[in-house]
Amino acid sequence: MKLNVDGKSYEVDVEDEMPLLWVLRDELNITGPKYGCGIAQCGACTVHIDGSAVRSCSIQVGNVEGAVTTIEGLGTPDSLHAVQAAWIKHQVAQCGYCQSGQIMSAASFLDSNVDPSDEDIDRAMSANLCRCGTYPRIRAAIKDASKSMKTA
């Protein structure tokens, strides 16, 4: 089976039913997406497929149609994505476990809403869980990223 992940082509010999998360982590050694719950409820495993945020723990690799982007491929080798830069600026991460999923969800959200209200952000990000409770910093970082994306 062929996959396009972070702009690179890969060939993997796995069962079609294997979750994309396991293929990324165990077969391709891409460890940014994390295993959190295994039932698509926490968001730690979030990646983009053709720009849309999906939970990689719940999609079978055989059902993947399109390019996969992980946190490792979100920015460019020369610059961070606006959301990644805002995360650093606002010191969002504490333990860091959920952060790649949070960032991937936020980046996808901002692609469709470049001027979000606090309520928009809370609604969009409520499906991503953070045990450390950094939600106010997450909201501030998303607002900041949206401003920089509007001027870019």
Structural domain boundaries in the chain: 2-73, 82-151
* pLDDT mean over 102-129: 95
3-state secondary structure the chain: CEEEECCEEEECCCCCCCEHHHHHHHHCCCCCCCCCCCCCCCCCCEEEECCEEEECCCCEHHHCCCCEECHHHCCCCCCCCHHHHHHHHCCCCCCCCCHHHHHHHHHHHHHHCCCCCHHHHHHHHCCCCCCCCCHHHHHHHHHHHHHHHHHC
| Mean pLDDT within 93-121 | 94
- Measured distance CA(151)–CA(149) in Å, rounded: 5
pLDDT in tens, 6-53: 999 999 999 999 999 999 999 999 999 999 999 999 999 999 999 999
Domain 82-151 indexed as CATH 2.30.30.90: no
Report whether 140 contacts 121 (CB < 8 A): no
Q: How many residues does the chain have?
A: 152
pLDDT at 85 over 90: yes
Stretch 84-105: mean pLDDT? 94
In this prediction, residue 15 carries a pLDDT of: 98
Residue 77 is predicted with a pLDDT of 86
Asked if residue 139 has pLDDT above 90, the reply is: yes
Say what percent of the chain tops pLDDT 90: 88
Mean pLDDT taken over the chain:
95
The reply to whether 2-73 and 82-151 are identical in fold is no
Amino acid 152: pLDDT: 66
At 96, the pLDDT band (50, 70, 90 cuts) reads: confident
Structure confidence at residue 74 as a pLDDT band (50, 70, 90): very high
pTM: 0.94
Amino acid 113: pLDDT: 95
Q: For residue 108, what are its two tokens? A: 């996808």
How much is the pLDDT for 94? 87
Q: Which CATH superfamily is domain 2-73 in?
A: Beta-grasp domain (3.10.20.30)
CA distance 35 to 87: 21
